[in-house]
Amino acid sequence: MENMRKSRVLEKLRAGKVATCFKLNMSGVEVAEIAAMSGFDCLWTDREHVVQSWSDIKAQNLAAKAYGADTMVRVSRGPYSDLIKPLEIDATGILVPHVMSLEDAKNIVHYTRFHPVGRRPIDGGNADGAYCLLDFDKYLQQANEQRFVVLQIEDPEPLKDLEAIAALPGFDMLFFGPADFSQGIGTPGDFSNPLLIETRRRVAEMAHKYGSSQPPQAA
């Protein structure tokens, strides 16, 4: 095996196209297979809110791969291993919830990108490295180029750093979470709150302003 499989989502986004995503709130592999068969570019599975084991996610990821779809895992916020385990089972991307500051975002990049962008712990003997069949240097390079990191802004605390977070090299997408944001500003469930609407707009503007079609580079 000479190359890591390419991300369908990144290929579309880098071409200026829209990528579609289907959220799985069930652990059954059949739902993942049906969604992948239906043509979605990405399946979103979850370790933050949904009781899914690593075995569940591995099975869903294999179902997605069988139809050429990406898998994005929303991770738990714990040790750095929570960030990299989805990548090592060959999920195509991770979604990191509750990014609270620029420093937090920098730490996420540090642990999810290989040199020269970050210092992600190296194994290479798992599914993403084709169980050591992928050349070591290509593994590091292609993992940086073909795997995506999404930062979720869903609290008022990171707003002071929002533009600096958006400008940070090494991640691929910003994602706004309105429900937790509404709770964070003291109006849970009020999606018509002017501050929520304005923040959603600002996140989109920052994403467009600093979005890039290029793979992540070192700062």
Give the model's confidence band at 180: pLDDT under 50 very low, under 70 low, under 90 confident, else very high. very high
Correct CATH for 8-210 of 3.90.1560.10, 3.40.50.300, 3.40.50.170, 3.20.20.60: 3.20.20.60
Q: Is 157 helix (H, G, I), strand (E, B) or coil?
A: helix
Q: What is the predicted pLDDT for the residue at 214?
A: 62
In sequence order, which residues have a C-beta less than 8 Å from that of residue 66 and are 6 or more positions away?
33, 36
Q: What is the predicted pLDDT for the residue at 219?
A: 58
Segment 106-134, tens digit of pLDDT: 999 999 999 999 999 999 899 999 999 99
Segment 38-63, tens digit of pLDDT: 999 999 999 999 888 999 999 999 99
Q: Is 174 helix (H, G, I), strand (E, B) or coil?
A: strand
Q: Is 31 helix (H, G, I), strand (E, B) or coil?
A: helix
Mean pLDDT of the chain: 94
Give the model's confidence band at 70: pLDDT under 50 very low, under 70 low, under 90 confident, else very high. very high
In sequence order, which residues have a C-beta less than 8 Å from that of residue 191 and are 6 or more positions away?
178, 182
Q: What is the predicted pLDDT for the residue at 212?
A: 64
Segment 7-23, tens digit of pLDDT: 999 999 999 999 999 99
- Strand pairing of 42-46 and 93-96? unpaired
- Nearest-5° Cα angle at 122, 151 to 64: 55
In sequence order, which residues have a C-beta less than 8 Å from that of residue 109 and are 6 or more positions away?
117, 118, 149, 168, 169, 170, 171, 216
Give the model's confidence band at 211: pLDDT under 50 very low, under 70 low, under 90 confident, else very high. confident
Segment 159-176, tens digit of pLDDT: 999 999 999 999 999 999
Which of 49, 98, 115, 208 does the annotation list as catalytic?
A: 49
Active site residue 49: yes
Distance CA 154, CA 200 (A): 10
Distance CA 199, CA 184 (A): 12
DSSP H or E stretch at residue 45:
strand 42-46
Q: What is the predicted pLDDT for the residue at 162?
A: 98
Q: What is the percent of the chain where pLDDT is above 70? A: 96
Q: What is the predicted pLDDT for the residue at 205?
A: 97
Give the model's confidence band at 218: pLDDT under 50 very low, under 70 low, under 90 confident, else very high. low
